[in-house]
Amino acid sequence: MKVNLFVSRDIDEPHADIHTNELTENITKAISILETDDSKEMLAVKRESDIALLEFDDVYMFRVEDRQVKVYTDDNEFLIKKPLYQVEETLNNDFVRISKTTIVNLKKVKRVAPSLKGMMFIELKNGLKDNISRKYLPDFKKALDL
């Protein structure tokens, strides 16, 4: 089968045109794959000049540093262009905001302990650490069913 790909910045929404003389099983599968919206399960990120697609399950933390949103995985660090509040809108219940600048994946939490001035300290399984601010502590506890 011949496949042509056209990339254009003038298109508002991606679309596919399939030209065929017969509807085969492979074409039916291709249509199903193209119509499935997996955008909520994947995240496009940058690392230097490379662009990668991450599954949300691989993300440990989103954190604003130097006015950029960084995405942390097990052993890598990436950047994304979206502001943190837009990222938060696309996340499922596995993620919770712990401060004005940080969102963590609850599945990646190693431990939580008391910290200074009513805050809590969090350590993720990849060794990243941060504080849960008092403002976001009730939502964090609710997410953990505490």
Q: What is the structure's pLDDT at 74?
A: 94
Domain interval for residue 108: 42-143
Cα 143 to the center of its chain, rounded Å:
18
Tokens of 129: 């650490």
Asked if the structure places residue 31 within a domain, the reply is: no
Checking if the pLDDT of 6 tops 60, the result is yes
Reduced to 3 states, what is the DSSP secondary structure of residue 109? strand
Are the C-beta atoms of residues 140 and 98 closer than 8 Å to each other? yes
Question: Does 26 fall in a domain?
Answer: no
Q: What is the pLDDT of residue 121?
A: 92
Residue 78 within any structural domain of the chain: yes
DSSP bridge pairs for 90? none
Q: What is the CA radius of gyration of the chain?
A: 20
12 DSSP β-pair partners: none
* Predicted TM-score (pTM) of this structure: 0.71
**pLDDT tens, position by position, 70-105:** 999 999 999 998 899 999 998 988 999 999 999 999
In a domain, 133, yes or no: yes
pLDDT at 146: 67
Asked whether residue 3 is domain-assigned, the answer is no
CA distances from 22 to 1, 17, 31, 34 (A): 12, 14, 14, 18
Pairing of β 42-47 and β 50-55: antiparallel
What confidence score (pLDDT) does residue 40 get? 54
In a domain, 106, yes or no: yes
How many structural domains are present in the chain?
Answer: 1
85: domain CATH number is 2.40.50.1020
Classify residue 15: in a domain, yes or no: no
**Cα 33 vs. chain centroid, distance in angstroms?**
21
Low-confidence winner among 5-19, 82-96, 131-145 (lowest mean pLDDT): 5-19
Q: Which of 15-24, 79-88, 116-125, 128-137 has the lowest mean pLDDT?
A: 15-24
Task: Tell whether 37 is covered by a domain.
Answer: no
